Amino acid sequence: MGNCKRKILLIATGGTIASTKTEHGLRPGISSDEILKYIPEVREFAEVTACQICAVDSTNMKPEIWCDIVRTIKEQYDRFDGFVIAHGTDTMAYTAAALSYLIQNSSKPIVLTGSQKPIEYKETDGARNLLDAFIYAADDKSQDVSIVFDGKVIAGTRAKKVRSKSFNAFDSIDYPFIAIIQGGQIMRYLPTIEFERQVTFYENVDDKVYLMKLIPGMKVHDMESIFKYYDAIIVESFGVGGIPDTISDDFYRLVEKYPSTLIIMSTQVSHEGSDMTVYEVGQKIKNDCHFLESYDMTLEAVIAKTMWILANTDDKNAREELFYKHINYDLIFGKNRNVR
């Protein structure tokens, strides 16, 4: 990291890491400046400025706050070498994915972290995670949006929370960790990328996205109201993807009636993704209704990417092109599963 201290902006949003005990349970109550008191070592290698965007339990994280984070980073981008976002764990993977689409080609690191136990607790994982996040953000080889948690660096589009209480809460789905951090040292598994374009910021999303999780024998009352209100419907299907007979007739009818609605097939299975060509239940409706599908993208990435696409183009072909564009490792194989 050299002798020159890197300038890092800490953006606090609340979450467990900043929570304190109340009579009704844990609630965010520690400010951005107070959090820094728990990692005094950071002053040895970084010059940190702190700001508070909000103080919410991450259950209450929403696209409007994503856009606030983006605007803050855009306004301060030239002043700082990197950014650390303290965030609750429950929706951190969604925010990391969203920021991957809203801030593209960033040669500066944008790092999300948090904890499973409040930083004021003696047995917390917060101090280690926060310090690791600053170590990674202060390294000149770090870039783009990532999550740093339990010593692992995960691309912003590949992260998923897989444990609700344990310190190793996050995993990288079907893709290697970017790096690991041990004893303050970064061990990288993936090389730094030379971006062909300058950093690009997008400040709007369309959150009229509906997630339809299938269950066996599913029936949907007044499915038309879903098509009528939402701009995109993501079907979280079984296995590699398909629509069950119990709702397929309605789906066919409504896809024809509402041709502007973006339909995307995803899967409830965490690993290996979708492939609607395998079974008749998927192949027929994909061909007839021109579904897009998630392939090896995580569900969090699919949702965030869809919100970003809807806000940036109305053109059906452009939407499809953007959906299959590889951004921050979100698609490994995509439509051509034989070519990386």
* Structure token pair of residue 323: 């959906």
Alpha helices (H) along the chain:
32-36, 63-76, 92-102, 126-137, 223-229, 245-257, 280-289, 299-312, 316-323
With beta carbons less than 8 A apart as the criterion, state whether 154 and 165 touch.
Answer: no
With beta carbons less than 8 A apart as the criterion, state whether 15 and 86 touch.
Answer: yes
pLDDT value at residue 283: 67
pLDDT value at residue 277: 63
- Return d(Cα 223, Cα 333) in angstroms, integer: 32
Print pLDDT tens along the chain (340 aa).
445 899 999 999 998 898 888 778 777 778 888 999 999 999 999 999 999 999 999 999 999 999 999 999 999 999 999 999 999 999 999 999 999 999 999 999 999 999 999 998 999 999 999 999 999 999 999 999 999 999 999 999 999 999 998 999 999 999 999 999 999 999 999 988 888 889 999 999 999 999 999 888 888 889 999 999 999 999 998 877 777 778 888 888 999 999 999 999 898 788 877 765 665 666 677 767 778 998 999 999 999 999 999 999 999 999 999 999 999 999 987 655 433 2
* Structure token pair of residue 269: 């299975």
pLDDT value at residue 72: 98
Q: What pTM, to 2 d.p., does this model score? A: 0.92
With beta carbons less than 8 A apart as the criterion, state whether 152 and 99 touch.
Answer: no
- Return d(Cα 111, Cα 145) in angstroms, integer: 6
- Considering only CA atoms, which of 311, 318, 303 is closest in space to residue 97? 303
Task: Answer yes or no: 49 catalytic.
Answer: no
- Return d(Cα 236, Cα 268) in angstroms, integer: 6
In which residue are the tokens 């990197």 written? 82
The active-site residue, picked from 13, 16, 89, 91, is 16
Q: What residue segments make up the domains of the chain, in order of their start?
A: 6-201, 209-323
Cα separation values, 13 from 58, 169, 266, Å: 8, 19, 29
Residue 27: beta bridge partners? 20
State the DSSP code for 40: G
Distance of CA 211 to the CA centre of its chain: 16
- Return d(Cα 28, Cα 11) in angstroms, integer: 14
* From the candidate CATH numbers 3.90.1150.10, 3.40.50.150, 3.40.50.40, 1.20.140.10, the one assigned to the domain spanning 209-323: 3.40.50.40
6-201: CATH architecture: 3-Layer(aba) Sandwich (3.40)
pLDDT value at residue 37: 94
